[in-house]
Structure 1
Amino acid sequence: MKDLKFVFNDKTIEHGDKTRICGIVNVTPDSFSDGGKWNNIDAALKHSQELIDQGASILDIGGESTRPGSTYVEIEKEIERVVPVVEAIKKEMDVAISVDTWKADVAKAAIEAGADIINDITGFLGDHKMADVVADSKAGAIVMFNPVIARPEHKSAKIFPKFGNNDVFNKEEYKKMQDMPILDLMDFYFKKSLELAKKAGIEDQRIMLDPGIGFGLTKVENLKLINNVERIYDLGYTIFLGVSRKRFIVNMLNDININMDENTEEGFRNRDMGSAVLSSIASYKDVEVVRVHSIEEHKMAIEIAHNLKIADSLEDVDFGAYKNK
């Protein structure tokens, strides 16, 4: 994996570095776990500073919920939500900013406001202008595999909103994708996304790939993608992974009678603890960035996994309680 890195503006994330934490700042009224909490500039700034203080090195700003059952947000409204927050954070804080949008006009406005990364959950397939907008800047791009677009009639996809035009695959390609094993489907989707990126002139090192956990997938498919996430390295790209508070985690732990009720303090905390276990696994697998809601649990999980991974190079410590007296 020589020279595997993610380069954006004046920043670089090297493969093999400790996994970085990307904190989520949803400036929306209806995101699935924190809608309405940070949807004004003062609240967003306060939350952003808290995330940075706790250990986030990237912030992901989102102005449109993409949860199941969510509705389309008009471009101007999304810009109104996102751009002032990006500008305010850039003015007051030294942190990389990602903007979670699949709309080219929103991305362009965000980049002009100071965004470093565009996090496109359609992988350039939702808006035909998106790849060109990124190409015309020095920003990085997170390109996500979106099973909702690949398999719109799948039972796990029907509850999601439609993302963009979704007309880049021809009829034969769509037919072929419906019965593909999930890992092959991810590869097939990324091939199309990366063709668009190459055509626009986006360098490989400005692209991170996201396996799209939680988007129109079954429980087993989510687990297979995480278990085989290193497959993305074989494609020659770094990895961005978002598993925080996803429904399949809740489903797994409900099955063994762990309280996952988001309306209780214990249940909400358990969602973050379960998510952090996957961040630990991701860190052990060398995933470059994890996208999370709560920093503390993930920071601890990543630190432990990182120390396990580099154990052979660590300086040893004698614990005082174990020394012979």
Structure 2
Amino acid sequence: MRPDAAAKRDTFFAAIGSRSLLMGIVNVTPDSFSDGGRFVAPEAAIAQARAHVAASAAIIDVGAESTRPGYTPVSEAEELARLEPALTALIASVDVAVSIDTTKAGVARVALAAGAAVVNDQWGLQRDPAMAVVVAEGEAGLVIMHNRDDIDAAIDIMDDMRRFFDRSLALADRAGIPHHRIILDPGIGFGKSKAQNLAALHGIAALRGYGLPVLVGVSRKSLFAALIGATDVADRLIGTLAANLAAAARGAAIFRVHDCAENRAALTVFDAIERA
């Protein structure tokens, strides 16, 4: 890993636990559910990343393939074509770590060479067999997200998450990925019913038993349409804030969000109360 990226990586991981941290989302996609098409142009992506950092984001998460419900998968070549025009300049434009949101080892390898410091894998090393080696060789941090191909409302989602994380952590261990550079994500909105999403959020405290930081990504999710009737994405901020505060109370450390300023204000109040 490049020395500048390694320094940003280490600064990010060292800050975990000192306060609630924000991961600012930058989607360079034409079809993301919340902001598809808004940040495809490199200038727009860079401006959004800078705005997140100005609002106290500790890390920027860049993704070039939508994973919204009903999304159309793209090839590695297409994902890189979307990503590469902005990535190097974006990384150079911010003084915090940048993570690459991808399930493809080839995309992760290119992003790490460009200066990304963390791989945010929505399949937790279990979709692309080469991903664990790429993360290990790149000395990257890793977000392991729980995922399922299909929703099965009959299963105990916490048991399923434990089995998934056990497999992913075994893959990470075999590849030589250091334990202290791993973050767990319960994968809210991925392969779960409404009840299972709520159970996953409620069960965050149990996930802390792994001794690893927990990241939560509920920002603007369709869960809030089901809970509070917020069918318009623009109306889901208050639901996002409520869910993130509930997650913080259960031990979540990092929050992947679109609206950094508002989440920073809410979590600053939460942190002040917790420290009082």
Q: TM-score normalised to the size of structure 2? A: 0.92
Give, as a single letter, the amino acid of the residue that structure 1 aligns with 2:45: A
Match of 1:318 in 2: none
After TM superposition, what 4+ stretches of structure 1 lie above 4 angstroms from structure 2? none
- 2:239 matched to 1:274? yes
Structure 2 counterparts to residues 145-156 of structure 1, below 5 A: 145-148=146-149, 152=150, 154=151
Do the aligned partners of 2:8 and 2:97 also contact (CA within 8 Å) in 1? no
**Alpha-carbon offset, residue 113 of structure 1:** 0.4
**Alpha-carbon offset, residue 283 of structure 1:** 2.5
Give, as a single letter, the amino acid of the residue that structure 2 aligns with 1:221: Q
Aligned length: 269
**Alpha-carbon offset, residue 250 of structure 1:** 1.8
Match of 1:317 in 2: none
Give, as a single letter, the amino acid of the residue that structure 2 aligns with 1:64: E
Match of 2:198 in 1: 223
Match of 2:71 in 1: 70
Match of 1:304 in 2: 269
Larger Rg: 1
Distance in 1 (alpha carbons) for counterparts of 2:275 and 2:193: 34
**CA deviation profile, 1:7-34 (whole Å, cap 9, x unmatched):** 9743323553111111110000000010
Distance in 2 (alpha carbons) for counterparts of 1:77 and 1:101: 12
After superposition, the Cα gap between the structure-2 partners of 1:16 and 1:91, relative to the gap in structure 1 and judged at 3 Å, is closer
Structure 2 counterparts to residues 200-211 of structure 1, below 5 A: 200-211=175-186
Do the aligned partners of 2:30 and 2:37 also contact (CA within 8 Å) in 1? yes
Q: Indicate which of 245, 253, 275 corresponds to 1:288.
A: 253
Do the aligned partners of 2:49 and 2:60 also contact (CA within 8 Å) in 1? yes
Distance in 2 (alpha carbons) for counterparts of 1:32 and 1:243: 13
Do the aligned partners of 1:8 and 1:138 also contact (CA within 8 Å) in 2? no
Do the aligned partners of 1:25 and 1:44 also contact (CA within 8 Å) in 2? yes
Unaligned runs of 5+ in 2: 1-6
3-state DSSP of counterpart to 2:236: helix
Distance in 1 (alpha carbons) for counterparts of 2:8 and 2:121: 15
**Alpha-carbon offset, residue 241 of structure 1:** 0.8
Distance in 2 (alpha carbons) for counterparts of 1:136 and 1:27: 26
After superposition, the Cα gap between the structure-2 partners of 1:14 and 1:56, relative to the gap in structure 1 and judged at 3 Å, is closer
- 2:57 matched to 1:56? yes
Structural RMSD (CA): 1.7
- 2:141 matched to 1:140? yes
